[in-house]
């Protein structure tokens, strides 16, 4: 089953045709993830996920007494984290309508930054997940000295704060996503195509440059968090995200938690091998999936088959647009390039099904507007390559996000980390 959805640029908490905030974050209860979170945190996260919810619904959802909810929500209100909403929910048959709770507008702020090959982007969110400001700037180069990359992130941070009219002291934490092998726990980057050096302590450099707590992770994980917090994965226990941009990435949510592997190397789908001694990948190896499917792979094919040199077609994104336009206009060489890439995508998706058996696979990212990559032939070949065809296949969802989605996922990483620290260290066990 194939579904398509397109981000249209509204606030994270706004839904079509609705005036009531719809919240952000996973919709499933904390117990679904197997984590023993304090009750105060469970209440806070449920309010955040719902956008607005009355106390009676909190009691039902969490399976605790109304008295406990009243006591704990009073503490959250006193702490400035939760507030009573101006709008009341629909009244029952008897009595006045219950007052809804929401995340307090001034509870706090986080920043998310995506460091990219060509552009860096950043967003500012409040604790309710609302996007308050956005900023982006061109990358100085495709590969950086580590200190230079940290400095670019610092300049983007200043640009974002100026746009939002906020001070650095207004920000609780910063999440940063970039391509490569990222050790989320230590902040170390064993390898990234953005860095000239290996084994870089990038987390330390970013914290020194930005002057705030910084949490870093692989950019595909950031996109997966964006789906878990704002997109199609909010109500799913387990799902996979495959992204096709200048690289090819994958993220995985299992039991309502982002799966990273033991050291940040897990789920590097783009660097799984599809051809021994095949095309050269930017990681330095040959035969990687990315070398046949990513933006630079399509451009390489176009330069050869269609004689599309950098001039007069311009940078990579303009060359891809030209290639796509020619394919839609009937150019058989251009169509062959997309068709070949689509076949490699079908192989990758069938492998994802065999390895993880997800209920949902989300094809996400800006490039998914190129419908050749998810044409019926691609999905049909994926099915033919997959075992056990007698049962329903994985649902395929297409999300064509704008460029700031990566930064929103990074902000979700910061918000999740701040929430855990706040209720773990600041409150203790409920």
Q: What is the pLDDT of residues 184-213, one digit of tens each?
A: 999 999 999 999 999 999 999 999 999 999
294 secondary structure, DSSP code: S
pLDDT (tens digit per residue) in 72-98: 999 999 999 999 998 655 555 555 668
The class level of CATH for 20-103 reads mainly alpha
Tokens of 319: 């060359």
The predicted structure's pLDDT at residue 232: 87
Q: What is the pTM of this model?
A: 0.85
For 83, 256, 384, 420, the CA distances from 235, given in Å and listed in that order, are: 25, 9, 29, 21
Domain at 237-400, CATH from 3.40.50.720, 2.40.30.10, 3.20.20.80, 3.30.420.40: 3.30.420.40
Do the strands 239-244 and 248-254 form a parallel or antiparallel pair, or are they unpaired? antiparallel
Beta bridge partners of 402: none
12 vs 217, more confident: 217
Element (H, E) at 4: strand 2-6
Question: Cα–Cα distance between 68 and 23 in angstroms, integer?
Answer: 23
Is 109-225+405-427 a CATH 3.30.420.40 domain? yes
3-state secondary structure of 46: helix
3-state secondary structure of 330: coil
424 secondary structure, DSSP code: I
Question: Cα–Cα distance between 390 and 23 in angstroms, integer?
Answer: 38
Q: Are 109-225+405-427 and 237-400 in the same CATH fold?
A: yes
Domain range list for the chain: 20-103, 109-225+405-427, 237-400
Mean pLDDT of all residues belonging to the chain = 86
């Amino acid at each position: 089953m194939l579904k398509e959805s397109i981000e249209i640029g509204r606030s994270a908490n706004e839904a079509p045709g609705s005036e009531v905030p719809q919240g952000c974050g996973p919709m499933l209860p904390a117990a679904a993830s197997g984590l023993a979170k304090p009750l105060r945190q469970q209440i806070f996260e449920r309010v955040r996920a719902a956008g607005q919810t009355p106390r009676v619904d909190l009691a039902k959802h969490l399976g605790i007494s109304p008295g406990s909810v009243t006591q704990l929500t009073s503490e959250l209100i006193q702490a400035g984290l939760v507030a009573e909403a101006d709008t009341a929910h629909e009244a029952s048959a008897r009595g006045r309508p219950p007052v809804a709770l929401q995340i307090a507008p001034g509870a706090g702020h986080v920043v998310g930054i995506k460091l990219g090959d060509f552009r860096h982007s950043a967003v500012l969110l409040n604790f309710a997940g609302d996007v308050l400001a956005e900023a982006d700037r061109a990358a100085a180069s495709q590969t950086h000295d580590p200190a230079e990359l940290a400095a670019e992130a610092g300049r983007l941070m200043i640009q974002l704060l100026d746009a939002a009219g906020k001070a650095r002291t207004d920000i609780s934490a910063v999440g940063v996503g970039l391509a490569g092998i990222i050790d989320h726990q230590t902040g170390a980057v064993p390898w990234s195509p953005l860095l000239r050096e290996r084994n870089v302590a990038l987390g330390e450099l970013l914290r020194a440059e930005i002057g705030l707590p910084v949490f870093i992770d692989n950019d595909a994980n950031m996109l997966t968090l964006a789906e878990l917090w704002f997109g199609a994965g909010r109500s799913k226990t387990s799902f996979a995200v495959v992204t096709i941009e200048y690289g090819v990435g994958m993220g995985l949510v299992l039991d309502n938690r982002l799966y990273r592997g033991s050291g940040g190397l897990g789920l590097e789908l783009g660097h799984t091998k599809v051809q021994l001694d095949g095309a050269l990948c930017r990681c330095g190896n040959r035969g990687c999936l990315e070398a046949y499917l990513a933006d630079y792979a399509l451009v390489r094919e176009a330069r050869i088959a269609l004689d599309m040199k950098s001039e007069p077609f311009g940078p990579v994104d303009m060359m891809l647009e030209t290639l796509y336009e020619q394919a839609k206009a009937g150019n058989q060489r251009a169509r062959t390039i997309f068709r070949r890439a689509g076949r490699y995508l079908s192989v990758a998706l069938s492998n994802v099904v065999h390895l993880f058996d997800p209920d949902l696979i989300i094809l996400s990212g800006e490039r998914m507007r190129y419908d050749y990559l998810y044409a019926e032939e691609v999905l049909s070949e994926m099915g033919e390559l997959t075992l056990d065809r007698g049962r329903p296949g994985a649902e395929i969802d297409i999300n064509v996000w704008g460029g700031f989605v990566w930064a929103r996922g990074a902000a979700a990483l910061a918000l999740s980390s701040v929430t855990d620290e706040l209720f773990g260290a600041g409150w203790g066990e409920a």
